[in-house]
Amino acid sequence: MSTTHGPSPIRWTFLAPSCPRPTGGDIARFELVNALARLGTDHVRVVHLPHDEMTIRSHADLPWFAFDEAVEHRFGAHLAPEEIPDGDVVVYSPKLIATALAPSGGAPGRRLLEALQQPGAHRWLPITLLQGSGVFPAAIENLALNLPGPKVCVGSWLADLAVNHGVPADHVVNIPNGLDHERFRILRPIAGRSPRVTMNFDPFPAKRGEAGLMALERLHRSLGVPSTVFGTIPLARALDPGLEFVLAPGQAILAEKIYPGASMFLQPSWREGFGMCAVEAMACGCALVTTDNGGSADYAIDGETAMICGGEPDDMAEVLSQLSGDDNLRRRIATNGSHFVDRFRWSDSARRLRSVAAAGLADPLRYRRTTPIDPDRDYPPVLQ
C-alpha cells in the first residue's frame, strides 16, 4: 500500500455489483470513476461483480453508460476478496454489502466483508460511499457505517446521520455529486417556456412516484397543465390525458428534449440521498418543486432556488399550481436554481475524494476497529 500522498499516483478499485438497469446511484458512481480517470494522475479500475445472480461480462451489458477510455475494467465471476486486484484504495457502497450477505453471496461474500474490516492489514484502504438511507435493510446500512475506513457522503444530511450514529467526525466527509455541465445546460430560454412539468417515476416506495402522478393529474384537471413523466420501469397503470410517459429515455434525451421542454420539475420523494434528476433539471432551466427529503437541502432553498412542498398529492399540486399561475415567480426560481447548481462539478468531487484517499493512505491504521464487525449480527435499526 502506498503511504505517500500529494502527486504520487493512487491505484483505485471501485467494486460495482452488476447493474440490471441504470439507477441514479450507479450512474453517479460511474461518473465519479470517469472524473477520477480524467484527472490524469491515477490508475482507476472498476471490478464488475455478480449481483442478484446476474453477471456483467462485457461493456455490452452496460449500454446505458459511456466510460472514459482510461478506466480499466475487470469482470469478476465471484463475490470474493480474490477478485480485488492489488491497489491502494477500494471504494464500495452498501449495495456491495447487501449483495455479499445475500444467499447468493455465500462464504466468499462474507470473506470479502471480513477483508474490508482490516485496513492496513490488507493491500488497500477501504472507502465507503454512502449515497442514501433507507434503501437497504437497516442492518445492512448500519454495517456499512460500522465497517472501517472513511465515509464519503453525497449529501450533508447523510454526513450528519453518520456522525449521529457514532462514526467519528473526522472519518466522515460530505462530497456532493457533480453534474455534466456540457450536457445538462440551458438549451431553451427560461422566459420562453409555458407551464409544463416533468418528473422521474420510480416505483420504490421512498420515491413516492404514485403520489407524484396523482399530483400531476390533479394539476392537469384543474389548470390544463401537461406533464412528461419518465422512468426506467414501465408504469403499472394508464395516465390521465395530458400526461405522457417516456420509458428509459437516456441522458441525451433528458438533456436535449425532456428537461428543456418543461418549465417545472417535481421531486415527490420523501427521502433522497442527493437527487440527481432534480439537479439536472435545474441546470436545464426547470423550476424545482420538491419535498424536504434530505438530499434536497443542499440545493433547494425555499422561495429562492426551489419551492418546497408537503408530501401529499394535494400539497404538490398546490405548489405546482402556484408556479403555473405566476410566470415571474416560476422564471425567477428556475433562473436562481440554474445558477446555484453550477457549483456541482464532477471534477471537484473527484479532487476532494482523492484528497480523502491520500490522507487515509498516509495513516490507514487509524481506521482500524478494535472490535470486529460480525456480518451475521442483527445490528439495531438506527437508520429510520
Tell me the per-residue pLDDT of 51-91, one tens digit each, with 9 for 90 and over: 765 777 888 888 888 999 999 999 987 888 888 888 899 99
Residue 377 has pLDDT above 80, yes or no: no
Residue 340 has pLDDT above 60, yes or no: yes
What is the spatial distance between Cα 17 and Cα 19, in angstroms, rounded to a whole number? 6
Residue 176 has pLDDT above 70, yes or no: yes
320 Cα distance to chain centroid:
25
Q: How many domains does the chain have?
A: 2
Residue 156 has pLDDT above 90, yes or no: yes
Task: Give me the pLDDT at residue 106, please.
Answer: 82
Task: Give me the pLDDT at residue 21, please.
Answer: 74
Q: For 317, which DSSP code?
A: H
Domain with 232, as residue range(s), is 190-343
133 and 43 share one domain: yes
Question: Taking residues 201-221, what's their average pLDDT?
Answer: 96
Task: Give me the pLDDT at residue 119, please.
Answer: 53
24 and 159 share one domain: yes
Residue 117 has pLDDT above 80, yes or no: no
What is the spatial distance between Cα 170 and Cα 236, in angstroms, rounded to a whole number? 45
What is the spatial distance between Cα 218 and Cα 214, in angstroms, rounded to a whole number? 6
Q: Is the dihedral of CA 247, 251, 253, 255 positive or negative?
A: positive
Look at residue 379 and tell me if it is in a domain: no
Look at residue 222 and tell me if it is in a domain: yes
202 and 122 share one domain: no
Higher pLDDT, residue 165 or 375? 165
**Residue 283 near residue 338 (C-beta atoms within 8 A):** yes
Residue 1 vs residues 89, 164, 363, 364: alpha-carbon distances, Å: 9, 31, 11, 9
Look at residue 290 and tell me if it is in a domain: yes
On average, the pLDDT of the chain sits at: 90
Find, among 10, 70, 66, 19, the residue nearest to 42 by Cα: 10
Amino acid of residue 160: D
Look at residue 354 and tell me if it is in a domain: yes
Grid cell, residue 364, equals 490507514
163 and 262 share one domain: no
What value, to the nearest 5°, has the Cα angle with vertex 45 and ends 107 and 170? 80
Share above pLDDT 90 across residues of the chain, in percent, rounded to a whole number: 69
Look at residue 173 and tell me if it is in a domain: yes
Look at residue 95 and tell me if it is in a domain: yes
Share above pLDDT 70 across residues of the chain, in percent, rounded to a whole number: 91
26 and 151 share one domain: yes
Look at residue 311 and tell me if it is in a domain: yes
Grid cell, residue 33, equals 470513476
| pTM attached to this predicted model | 0.91
Look at residue 4 and tell me if it is in a domain: no
225 and 290 share one domain: yes
Task: Give me the pLDDT at residue 2, please.
Answer: 43
